[in-house]
Amino acid sequence: MRQMLTLSFGLENDQHFNPAQIGQQLNLSRERIRQMMHGSCITKTKNYIKEVSPQQ
């Protein structure tokens, strides 16, 4: 996951890659890269909401 984000946002060398290019480098499909990135975002958002929402 870290490598996908690094490539996607150009964190090491300011060169951004799209999901198809990332998939080629990691031997995964573009769709699988999208699923993994999307799933991670949803999980992190849900966890954040649980942390900041008031306890009932």
Query: pLDDT category, 53, cuts 50, 70, 90?
Result: confident
Helices (H), the chain: 2-9, 19-26, 30-52
CB-based burial label for 3 (10 Å; 0-12, 13-18, 19+): exposed
Q: What is the pLDDT of residue 41?
A: 74
Q: Domains in the chain, please, with CATH?
A: 2-52 (1.10.10)
Residue 24 has pLDDT above 90, yes or no: yes
Residue 30 has pLDDT above 90, yes or no: yes
Distances (CA, A) of 23 to 20, 32, 33, 53, 56: 5, 8, 6, 36, 43
Contact 33, 4 (CB under 8 A): yes
Residue 16 has pLDDT above 70, yes or no: yes
